[in-house]
């Protein structure tokens, strides 16, 4: 039975190497995905700012037209004022002139503020656009590097996979099925050492009698807590692994 345990331990060691390579490959791809997501978020912001900019420009044109109309109205009223003889009409014209001046003043103030806002928005759009262009260029270079690194890791993985296939054949089919099931359910760790009665897979104590049976190595036992297959790992060997 000790030979079966050793075969399982060797298989898990190979699987751990494969998992580490896959994690590195996923990490590189994950970083790229995060940067791509960031660029897309900035592009969405550019669209949002662009809509606000267009709305601001439209309002600017409206205000400029209203101000021009107000100036024309003001000139027309001032010209008319020169020919009025009636006091009542004269005061009415004066009131219209004053109201038109106030309206134009309000529109001019709004226009100045709006111009400042749209200029600020335009500057933000330019800033985000430059950022996205630079980031996309940098991302392309990084993607090429990640692809090259992934190819290297994939080659290493394929070599190790061949070794894994050979090692799997050494394991009894009954234990191999159990191992594969546990590896999938227990994040790649199907086999756990037990030191001083503690399962290192879940850090829980196993029953004393089970620990005694484990020391005999007459059968492959499962942890009552995490269900992993267990093997005895003497304390000094655990310290060396740590």
**Could you tell me if residue 202 is inside a domain?**
yes
Mean pLDDT lowest among 23-27, 133-137, 164-168: 23-27
Q: Is residue 165 part of a domain?
A: yes
Local structure of residue 190 (DSSP, 8 states): -
Please determine, for residue 159, whether its predicted confidence score (pLDDT) is greater than 60: yes
Would you say residue 24 lies in a domain?
A: yes
pLDDT of amino acid 128: 96
Q: What integer is the mean pLDDT of 134-141?
A: 92
Can you give the CATH number for the domain in which 44 is found?
1.10.287.1490
pLDDT at 242 > cutoff 60: no
- State the chain's mean pLDDT as an integer: 91
Angle between helices 173-185 and 2-81 (to 10 degrees): 30
Average pLDDT over residues 13-33: 89
| pLDDT score at 134 | 94
C-alpha 119: how far from its chain's center?
31
Question: In this predicted structure, what is the pLDDT of residue 239?
Answer: 59
Q: Is the pLDDT reported for residue 150 higher than 80? A: yes
- Is a pLDDT exceeding 90 seen at residue 167? yes
* Mean pLDDT, rounded, for 130-158: 91
Shared-domain flag, residues 180 and 220: yes
pLDDT (average), residues 185-198: 94
Task: Give the model's pLDDT for residue 85.
Answer: 74
Q: Does 132 share its domain with 108?
A: yes
Answer whether residue 241 shows pLDDT above 80.
Answer: no
The answer to whether position 66 is within a domain reads: yes
Dihedral over alpha carbons 86, 88, 94, 96 (to 10 degrees): -120
**What is the predicted pLDDT for the residue at 91?**
85
Mean pLDDT confidence for 100-127: 95
Four-point Cα dihedral 59, 65, 71, 74, nearest 10: -90
pTM value? 0.59
* pLDDT, average across residues 23-27: 86
Residue 210 lies in a domain: yes
Q: State percent of the chain over pLDDT 90.
A: 73
- Residue 235: the pLDDT is 83
239, burial (CB in 10 Å: exposed 0-12, middle 13-18, buried 19+): exposed
Do 125 and 189 fall into the same domain? no
pLDDT tens per residue, range 43-94: 999 999 999 999 999 999 999 999 999 999 988 888 887 877 788 888 888 8
Same domain, 131 and 203: no
13 located within any domain: no
Total domain count, the chain: 2
Q: What domain range is 158 assigned to?
A: 20-169
Of 144, 169, 194, the position where a domain reaches its end is 169
pLDDT on residue 182:
95
* pLDDT on residue 28: 83
Asked if residue 11 is part of any domain, the answer here is: no
């Amino acid at each position: 039975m000790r030979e079966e345990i050793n075969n399982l331990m060797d298989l898990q060691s190979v699987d751990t190497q494969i998992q580490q390579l896959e994690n590195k490959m996923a990490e590189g791809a994950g970083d790229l995905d995060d940067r791509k997501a960031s660029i897309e978020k900035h592009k969405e912001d550019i669209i949002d700012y662009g809509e606000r900019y267009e709305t601001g420009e439209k309002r600017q044109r409206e205000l400029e037209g209203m101000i021009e109309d107000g100036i024309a109205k003001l000139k027309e009223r001032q010209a008319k004022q020169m020919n009025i003889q009636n006091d009542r009409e004269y005061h009415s014209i004066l009131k219209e002139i004053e109201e038109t001046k106030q309206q134009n003043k309000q529109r001019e103030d709004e226009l100045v503020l709006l111009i400042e806002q749209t200029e600020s928005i335009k500057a933000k759009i330019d800033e985000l656009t430059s950022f996205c262009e630079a980031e996309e260029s940098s991302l392309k270079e990084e993607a090429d590097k990640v692809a090259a690194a992934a190819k290297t890791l994939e080659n290493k993985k394929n070599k190790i996979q061949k070794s894994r296939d050979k090692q799997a054949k050494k394991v009894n089919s009954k234990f191999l099925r159990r191992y594969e099931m546990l590896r999938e359910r227990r994040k790649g760790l199907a086999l756990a050492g037990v030191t001083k009665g503690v399962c290192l897979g879940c850090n829980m104590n196993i029953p004393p009698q089970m620990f005694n049976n484990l020391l005999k190595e007459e059968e492959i036992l499962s942890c009552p807590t995490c269900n992993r297959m267990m093997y005895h790992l003497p304390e000094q060997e655990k310290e060396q692994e740590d």
